[in-house]
A and B are shown apart, each in its own frame.
Chain A
Amino acid sequence: MIKFLELCISGISLGSVYALVAIGFVVIFKATRVLSLVHGSLLLLSAYVVARAEPTVGFLPAVLLGAAVAVVGAVLVQRVFLERLRRRGANYIALTMLTVGLDIILLTEVTRRIGARVYGINNPWGSEVIHWGGFSFPVARLAGIVVSFSLIALFFAAFKYTTWGVALRASADDSHTAALMGIRQSRVAGAAWAVAGALAAVAAVFLVAFPAPGLDASTSLVALKAFPAVVLGGLDSASGALVGGLSVGLVEVVLSGYGEQLSFLGGGFGSVAPWALVLLVLLVRPSGLFGSKEVARV
């Protein structure tokens, strides 16, 4: 029982970090109808910046710098590339493939710089573990939960009450009318990409923190785990992304924790279980749990 609860806390911690990335995907999808496949390398880039800057400037400034790099990178992707293609009426396949092309370039560059190295990022929590009546948790995991949920709460508040949030929701519901109401689509989109970049940067810090081994070239693959999360919840549902992120984190950690009992499913089934979950959910609900059904176009 103690093991199960520990796994649950750990799963929620990982899940909340996935949710950060997944919410970024939802915001991007709402604003630009694209699945950002460049996110994995943006996340890797910001983690790399944090890892390189931290020894000289300290943890918090390094994180801010990493986030700034991710934000600038994301906005550039949207402004310089996607917007240009979107104006020509390109469909979602072309737009998404554009993010694939950018991902290949950025990923190649960052992994080349990282090489075979593994960067540890010194953070305030280090590798401390709290012991409390039979339970034990890494502090970094708890910090992950606190920081992620604070940011998620902040995001939902902004989504609900700020002009940007209203504009984003309006554009997603009916881009034509939103444009008539004077909403500058490209501004909303730029801000959406910025938010997604910032969320990914924070997520990156926790994804490479203890008890994970640190930052290496494969960290970008971790960002792919946010895909099942976002599709599970529904591409255009922010609360769906939260639910999806938590489910993916829980399923992954709990199933991995009981890996021995599940060995008939193969070693490491926990880490691919979210993908099986996504297929099961789509089989029943083709637009995810909370995604809106596409209206037939005539």
Chain B
Amino acid sequence: MTAGERTAHPTGPLLLSGGGGVTAPPPARLVVDGLTVVFGGVTALDDVSFTVEPGTVHALIGPNGAGKSTCFNALTGVYRPARGTALFGTHDLTSMPPHRIASVGVGRTFQNIALSPSETVRDNLLLGRHHLGRSGFLADALGTRRARHEERQALARIEAIAAFLGLADKLGTPLGTLAYGDQKRVEMGRALAMEPRLLLLDEPAAGMNASETESLTQSIDQIRSELGISVLLVEHDMTLVMQVSDRVTVLNFGKKIADGPPAAIQTDSTVISAYLGEPEDWTTPHPGDGPGETSSER
């Protein structure tokens, strides 16, 4: 087997500088301005603006149906907004071809695990490096020296990321056989493999138990402080949000109703009344306690 599978590091350090030979470009801020998404007459996202500062964790919260996922999908080119821009550095994410967004440094995870169950963990992680690769179909078919070199570099990087997330001993395992929490970590690992400067995390704690959420909190913290990656986080677990966020934007019915540091948001009367419909999000300290390790439901 390959070199990285000697021992499993629970969470080893992950040096970003390597990056498979890619030099990290300067950090950039994400400026979302007047973003509006309309579905057949229904305005799902209405004139939403916020800014994610470099090197911060910015949470996007709101009751169900508030437009959080729509916002994510508009930022990653899944939906085309009717109006508004999302400038990341100098690039407007809303007007570029969706497959180019990865290469300006935006990585994302998906709310429901969107990995390939029949592929190994290694191949699922390697997919994250697609936009960093240069070898084309011909080079891959002929197995040129460059293609092989690139593949080796990508593998080495994947092994480091797997070690960072405590997945080092699972690289050769087909994803579909992993426990739910591990699959969530692979989802995170694939986004990290993209070497993003901005990481969009879509409900990373959904379905996790308390200890898994705890280690996720640490991971997000490390991603910001050690790797210097900005994080835009959609999450229902308020404990997690309040612990890791530098700033919080609150959406309700597609509109922004509040924006500020966590402490201010917690006491904001508009936010509290918006959430009255579903108090469990506010009051339960660990919403994740319920489902426990329910890998079976997915």
Q: Is B135 positioned at the interface, with any CB of A under 8 Å from its CB?
A: no
Q: Is A284 positioned at the interface, with any CB of B under 8 Å from its CB?
A: no
Size class of A's contact patch? Answer: under 10
**Closest residue of chain A to B202, judged by CB?**
A298
The count of residues in chain B whose C-beta lies closer than 8 Å to any C-beta of chain A is: 8
Q: Is B209 positioned at the interface, with any CB of A under 8 Å from its CB?
A: no
Q: Is A296 positioned at the interface, with any CB of B under 8 Å from its CB?
A: yes
**Closest residue of chain A to B110, judged by CB?**
A298
Chain A 259-298 interface mask (CB, 8 Å, partner B; 1/0)? 0000000000000000000000000000000000000101
Q: Is B239 positioned at the interface, with any CB of A under 8 Å from its CB?
A: no
Q: Is B69 positioned at the interface, with any CB of A under 8 Å from its CB?
A: yes
* Chain B residues closer than 8 Å to A298, beta-carbon distance: 69, 73, 78, 110-112, 114
* Chain A residues closer than 8 Å to B114, beta-carbon distance: 298
**In the complex, what distance in Å separates the CA atom of A296 from the CA atom of B114?**
13
Q: What is the CB-to-nearest-CB distance from B257 to chain A, in angstroms, rounded to a whole number?
A: 24
**Closest residue of chain A to B108, judged by CB?**
A298
Chain A 17-48 interface mask (CB, 8 Å, partner B; 1/0)? 00000000000000000000000000000000
**Closest residue of chain B to A89, judged by CB?**
B117
* Chain A residues closer than 8 Å to B78, beta-carbon distance: 296, 298
Chain B 105-120 interface mask (CB, 8 Å, partner A; 1/0)? 0000011101000000
Within 8 A of B (CB), among A169-190: none
**In the complex, what distance in Å separates the CA atom of A109 from the CA atom of B79?**
50
* Chain A residues closer than 8 Å to B110, beta-carbon distance: 298
**Closest residue of chain A to B117, judged by CB?**
A89
Q: What is the CB-to-nearest-CB distance from B168 to chain A, in angstroms, rounded to a whole number?
A: 29
**In the complex, what distance in Å separates the CA atom of A291 from the CA atom of B16?**
48
Q: What is the CB-to-nearest-CB distance from A78 to chain B, in angstroms, rounded to a whole number?
A: 26
**Closest residue of chain B to A296, judged by CB?**
B78
Q: What is the CB-to-nearest-CB distance from B83 to chain A, in angstroms, rounded to a whole number?
A: 20
**In the complex, what distance in Å separates the CA atom of A273 from the CA atom of B162?**
56
Chain B 72-90 interface mask (CB, 8 Å, partner A; 1/0)? 0100001100000000000
* Chain B residues closer than 8 Å to A296, beta-carbon distance: 78-79
**Closest residue of chain B to A297, judged by CB?**
B114
Q: What is the CB-to-nearest-CB distance from A174 to chain B, in angstroms, rounded to a whole number?
A: 15
Q: What is the CB-to-nearest-CB distance from A283 to chain B, in angstroms, rounded to a whole number?
A: 21
* Chain A residues closer than 8 Å to B112, beta-carbon distance: 298
Within 8 A of A (CB), among B107-157: 110-112, 114
**Closest residue of chain A to B78, judged by CB?**
A296
* Chain A residues closer than 8 Å to B79, beta-carbon distance: 296
Within 8 A of A (CB), among B238-257: none
Q: What is the CB-to-nearest-CB distance from B274 to chain A, in angstroms, rounded to a whole number?
A: 24
**In the complex, what distance in Å separates the CA atom of A286 from the CA atom of B69?**
27
Q: What is the CB-to-nearest-CB distance from A158 to chain B, in angstroms, rounded to a whole number?
A: 29
* Chain A residues closer than 8 Å to B111, beta-carbon distance: 298
**In the complex, what distance in Å separates the CA atom of A296 from the CA atom of B69?**
13
**In the complex, what distance in Å separates the CA atom of A298 from the CA atom of B98?**
14
**Closest residue of chain A to B114, judged by CB?**
A298
Q: What is the CB-to-nearest-CB distance from B71 to chain A, in angstroms, rounded to a whole number?
A: 13
**In the complex, what distance in Å separates the CA atom of A298 from the CA atom of B113?**
9
Chain A 67-90 interface mask (CB, 8 Å, partner B; 1/0)? 000000000000000000000000
**In the complex, what distance in Å separates the CA atom of A262 from the CA atom of B110?**
55
**In the complex, what distance in Å separates the CA atom of A136 from the CA atom of B112?**
63
Q: A298-B78, A298-B111 given. 7 additional CB < 8 A pairs?
A: A296-B78, A296-B79, A298-B69, A298-B73, A298-B110, A298-B112, A298-B114
6 closest Cβ pairs, A-B complex: A296-B78, A298-B78, A298-B110, A298-B73, A298-B114, A298-B111
Between A and B, 9 residue pairs with Cβ closer than 8 Å are: A296-B78, A296-B79, A298-B69, A298-B73, A298-B78, A298-B110, A298-B111, A298-B112, A298-B114
